[in-house]
Amino acid sequence: MDLRDFGTTGMRVSPIALGTVKFGRTAGLKLSKPFQLPSDAEAASLLALAADLGINLIDTAPAYGTSEERLGELLKGQRDRWLICSKAGEEFDAATGQSHYVFSREHITASVERSLQRLGTDRLDIVLIHSNGDDLDVIDRFGALDTLERLKAEGKIRATGMSTKTIAGGLRALAASDCVMVTHNLAYQGELPVINAAAASGKGVLIKKPLASGHVVSQSDDPVAESFRMILGHPGVSSLVVGTIDPHHLAQNVEAANRAIAA
């Protein structure tokens, strides 16, 4: 895949990123079909396929169950092959199947240190604040993005940002960090103003739920291709995150993305 500039960070990312929530968590996900966690061999095979297809960006998070720990083992000896995006702020309790959020400076700092240890690396390429929906409160009252910027200055993070849920929060995050992650798909384009602002300001944009968590609906015979044409056709979009553990689906998604980019 042809790589794209990730804003002005100096990093270049594949238009498709591999989301790894299904590497570490089955509960509390709004997905169209139930699934089982892949074995280590299956996960390693999927990562090898992703690399062969030209994907260079992996998306993970502490809230993705054991995803970070598993990736730390699976990526040994190939850390420099990948860009890793993780998050901070959301904590998932496997016992209850529920998440809770903590945005204090102490917690965000400890979360990043824990991610570094779990992933077996000395730096995280991208770290996003995992918002609970109160975006402005997280940014302004808790200073969560300021905490990430301090860790960036220490060399532990290359780019900071926020996975936002509101237009106002997305715009504020763009002003205070390097990138945002927003929802954008055929059924929901409510955060398009954030993507437009990012394009104008040279900031990176990651797209979550590009296929509406497996619920994408379209009049087209190929809703995946239609989705990717819309999303990747926007000059502000750096990469969209596809969270699959099915090798066939991953290959199909990359093929659809390549067709969309070439159209």
* Rounded CA separation 181/129 (Å): 10
For the chain, give the longest Cα–Cα distance: 50
* Rounded CA separation 231/144 (Å): 28
Phi and psi torsions of 7, nearest 5°? 60, -135
Active site members: 64
CA angle 126, 88, 172 (to 5 degrees): 70
| Residue pair 36/253 in contact by the 8 Å Cβ criterion | no
Q: List, as one string, the DSSP characters of 67-109.
A: HHHHHHHHTTT-GGG-EEEEEESEEEETTTTEEEE---HHHHH
Which residues contact residue 67 at a Cβ distance below 8 angstroms, ignoring those fewer than 6 apart? 20, 21, 23, 24, 25, 60, 61
Given 3-state DSSP classes, what are the helix, strand and coil percentages for the chain, each rounded to the nearest 5? 40, 20, 40
